[in-house]
Every structure is written in structure tokens, then in C-alpha cells.
Amino acid sequence: MADPSPSVASAGPAPAELDFEAFQRIYGPIRPLSPLEAFELFRGAPFLWWVAGGWSTELGPALRRIHEDLEIAVPRDAVDALRAWLHEYHLWDTHGGGLRFLAPDSVVPDDHEQLWMRRDGASPWLLDLMLTPVIGDRWHYKRDLRVSRPMDEVIRFAPDSVPYQRPEVTLLYKARRRAEKDEADFEAVIPWLPAADRAWLRDAIALTEPPDHPWVTRLD
């Protein structure tokens, strides 16, 4: 009999290695919430949350590109409160190429950083939940804790009151992979960045990425 544990290990490509269509064929459809829908979902939540990822690089009056998912960042130490708030949904822990259903009594290991959310097994994926190091009132870059910033310099509020990650912080995350959409986001964002934010991003990339990273000279 097969192992009944509700998990998917490395039997095939890891989710992060798949394109959008291939992911859906294996793991099911994605129908992400909009930022405004996430705002309604988390209205009154007893923890900090904010929109991260590609959506946070949308700075103009019109939507610049299609976003295949919605990433919501939450302080890592708020994971229990997050799970309680989303008790009507199914949460899955994705780590190291594996995917594991989070039963109510299961534990999220301290080094795991991402959860996926959907209503149930017959429903589409709605959110990526990014567990983010926040210590006191400071955000820390998960790949290098030497890079940190006060939370009021990490979150900006749109006119509709939705909290968004500041675009230079998002670009730091995107600097490592530099997929086609990451390059497009960089090109779109840098004309909007004030000099101080460009300098912060340049210094953070120079500290955490190889010395020949092409974005560094673009930010001088």
C-alpha cells in the first residue's frame, strides 16, 4: 500500500521548476486572488501582512503585465496566527521541492518559508504566503540577514489602502533569479525609484550577489 502521508516529495519536477501550464497540469489550477480580494480576506487580521512579488512592482495607473500568482508576505513569527485566521482554507507547506498538506496539528519547521493556500482539494490555488523574517520593527532579507530595513521603509500603502512591498525590496528578491519577468519588472521600476532607493538596492545587490551582477551598474 502506498504511504498515506499527505505529501508530495521529489517524484518529478519541483513546483518552482515548472512553467505556469505545466504546474497546473500536475498540481491543479491557479486562480489567484487580486490584491483587493486579499485585503478583504485579511481585514482585521491580528498580524502584519503585505503584497509582495510582481504585484508590488505595479506603480503606474494601469496594470503593466499579467500576474500568475499573488504573493502575500507575513512575519515568520506570525505563522500560528496566520493559520488560525485561515482555518477555513487548506494550507500546504512547500519546501525543497516537496509539497505537504498542513493538517491542523502539524508543525511548520523553522526553516520553511512558503505556504500555498486553496479552499480545498477541488478548488484552485489562491495565494502564496511568504514567511518573512521580521524582528521587532525591522524586516530582514531572508537570504542574508545583514540586509535589513525598518518596516515603515518596506511597506507602502496604495490609495485603496492595500499594503504593498516597496518595489526596490521586491527587486532585491528578483535579482538572484532574473527570469524574463524579473528583468521586465526591473526595467519598469527603476525609472520610478528615487535616488536613495536606487542606492539602497544597488548596495544590497552588491553585498548579496556576485560582483559582476548586471543590475549594479544600471543603478549607479
**pLDDT, tens digit, for every residue of 107-150?**
999 999 999 999 999 999 999 999 999 999 999 999 999 999 99
Backbone angles phi, psi at 122, to 5 degrees: -95, 5
Is residue 16 classed exposed, middle or buried when 0-12, 13-18 and 19+ CB atoms within 10 A define those classes? Answer: exposed
Residue 98 parent element (H or E): strand 98-101
- Grid cell, residue 219, equals 543603478
**pLDDT tier at 15, thresholds 50, 70, 90:** confident
Please name the CATH architecture into which domain 7-165 falls. Answer: 2-Layer Sandwich (3.30)
- Condensed to tens digits (0 to 9), the pLDDT of residues 155-201 reads 999 999 999 999 999 999 999 999 999 999 999 999 999 999 999 99
Q: Is the pLDDT of residue 36 over 60?
A: yes
Position 13 scores a pLDDT of 62
The closest of 8, 213, 183 to 95, measured between CA atoms, is 8
Mean pLDDT of the chain: 92
Question: pLDDT > 90: what percent of the chain?
Answer: 84
- Grid cell, residue 102, equals 498542513
Q: Is the pLDDT of residue 3 over 90?
A: no
The closest of 47, 28, 7 to 131, measured between CA atoms, is 47
Measured distance CA(216)–CA(220) in Å, rounded: 7
pTM: 0.91
Q: Is the dihedral of CA 40, 20, 56, 165 positive or negative?
A: positive
Q: Is the pLDDT of residue 41 over 70?
A: yes
